Chains A and B, each alone.
Chain A
Amino acid sequence: MLDAKTIRKDFPILSREVNGKPLVYLDNAATSQTPQQVIDCIVDYYSNYNANIHRGVHTLSQEATDKYETARQTIQKHFNAQKAHEIIFTSGTTHGINLVANGFSSLLQKGDDVIVSALEHHSNIVPWQMLCEHTGASLKVIPMNEQGELVMNEFDNILSSKTKLVFVNHISNALGTINPIEDIIQKAHKFGAAVLVDGAQACPHIKPDVQALDVDFYVTSAHKMCGPTGVGILYGKEVWLNKLPPYQGGGEMIAEVTFEKTTYADLPHKFEAGTPNICGGIAFGAAIDYMNQLGFDNIATYEHDLLVYATEKLQEIEGLKIYGTSKHKTSVISFNLESIHPYDVGTILDKMGIAVRTGHHCAQPIMDYFKIPGTVRASFAFYNTISEVDALVEGVKKAKMMLS
């Protein structure tokens, strides 16, 4: 069992005040906070062994390279990838998605189908729309129901031998729904289609096993799981990564360059052009170590309890409607107060030191489905407490009183 009170001491930011009130940070689905262990790792890098990697013969460069590659192995182990070079460092989830979309632009043709889910973040819609425009492939959508779950019968109907790619998020950022990706992957593979899973919202809560899932591509960002911003990974099966052309040209990604021809470096360097976010990669490894020390089973149990408690308490407020009511969801609650704009609720909560997200959460198709301009979204992490949930509930009641 996690002891949030002790854990909170690892996070210096959690003891600050906002608008004269103790910070209640409930915007974890946007970005998580950073523990001292990860901050120390960043300070250590710049204080002791900052150097460019993979090319220096000097000691600092060697030390930095070792740490960077050790981080890659930590990440490989965490996701249970078969090989370390199947882990490509990226600038984050969006970069990973674009890398794969760009790669497929030379593999798709007119008449092919690409399937996305109705629960996607804009970053997992727009690159595929661009890809389809470019290649002439058609974009098809797995619809969602009133609970915010994917309608799997419809997926069966649109899946065919024309389907070349399926893109789905592991967990919806706007509603918290956990999608049945095992089922989606199995079915897509029967038709020979590749599957990319956006794991940005899943990785803070669960530990995905890419081999057990048999997923072709899995992308995520460090900053959602206690790491720094500007770094993430793309996991890709070796066979797929070899098939895709490089995304960007530059240093690091080449084997040999003449003016006649350049041969590309082996994996993972083929996709890592230029000097990477070295410190970020190393700190990502430290963040994963930190979370594994707490244990993902413990995190899941603790967050589930918070979700159940918060859902129960919020539902007691008259006129409050929760969007996304699947039984399979993570600690995210998207809601609105009847006839009150989410922006107003968020503004009042901020005045009380409570940080939530308001708006369409970069998922306008979901908001259009519910015919709302947006929602207030409270998302909980393992360092949040029951008394913070109480503060949220009191805050929402006060907002309702002031705004009605």
Chain B
Amino acid sequence: MTIEEIQNEIIDEFSMFDDWEERYQYMIDLGKTLPLIEDQYKTEENIIKGCQSKVWVHADIQDNKVVFTADSDAIITKGIIAILIRVFSNQSPKAIIEADTDFIDQIGLKEHLSPTRANGLVSMIKQLKMYAIAYQTQLQ
């Protein structure tokens, strides 16, 4: 699936929720169930410091596609990471570089991606794109 298709799928899923509680419960459940990163990659250098919750990101390239794994010590942050990984992982570097994150608005999680929010997610998206740019340069 393309990034846009996955984003539309997520928007559809979230449109079934009536209120914030259902949306958050869904994200919390995502955060609880997904093993997102191997312990060996939860290193100091893979940490994106976000003041309050820590975020770890690791990137790899397989068959010209970037595979991301990530984690956080806060579960709501982890839930949002799970959504971001679903969108960005297993895509070509070019697609990742060109993708936008407007869908976050549409699923009612905009406040988590405010640059002033102390959860490291904005830096995380920047980091995902940086990895994609690095791999894109390698591929060329």
Contact = CB atoms under 8 A, between A and B. Distances in A.
Interface of A: 19, 340-344, 347-348, 351, 358-359, 373-374, 402-403
Contacts of B90: none
Contact of A348 (B24, B51, B119): B24
B20 A347 contact: no
A342 B77 CA distance: 12
Interface in B36-53: 51-53
A365 B69 CA distance: 31
B76 A343 contact: yes
Contact of B53 (A343, A348, A402): A343
Contacts of A351: 20-21, 24
A56 B116 CA distance: 42
Contacts of B104: none
A402 B28 contact: yes
B52 A358 contact: yes
Contacts, number: 40
Contact of B118 (A19, A344, A359, A402): A359
B15 interface: no
A373 B21 CA distance: 26
B6 interface: no
Residue with the highest number of chain B CB atoms closer than 10 Å, among A342, A343, A351: A343
Interface size class of B (residues with CB under 8 A): 10 to 19
A344 B51 CA distance: 14
Given A341-B74, A359-B52, 18 more contacts: A341-B53, A341-B73, A343-B52, A343-B53, A343-B74, A343-B119, A344-B28, A347-B24, A351-B21, A351-B24, A358-B52, A359-B51, A373-B54, A373-B73, A402-B24, A402-B25, A402-B28, A403-B28
A113 B91 CA distance: 59
B75 interface: yes
A348 B79 CA distance: 14
Interface in B73-129: 73-77, 118-119
A397 to B, nearest CB: 14
18 contacts: A341-B74, A341-B75, A343-B52, A343-B74, A343-B118, A344-B28, A344-B74, A344-B76, A347-B24, A348-B24, A351-B20, A359-B118, A373-B54, A373-B73, A374-B52, A402-B28, A403-B28, A403-B75
Contacts of A348: 24, 76
Contacts of B119: 343
Nearest to A342: B52
A19 B25 contact: no
B103 to A, nearest CB: 20
B20 A19 contact: yes
A364 to B, nearest CB: 11
Contact of B75 (A344, A359, A373, A374): A344
Contacts of B53: 341, 343
Contacts of B20: 19, 351
Contacts of B74: 341, 343-344
A358 B52 CA distance: 8
B73 to A, nearest CB: 6
Nearest to B29: A402
Contacts of A347: 24, 76
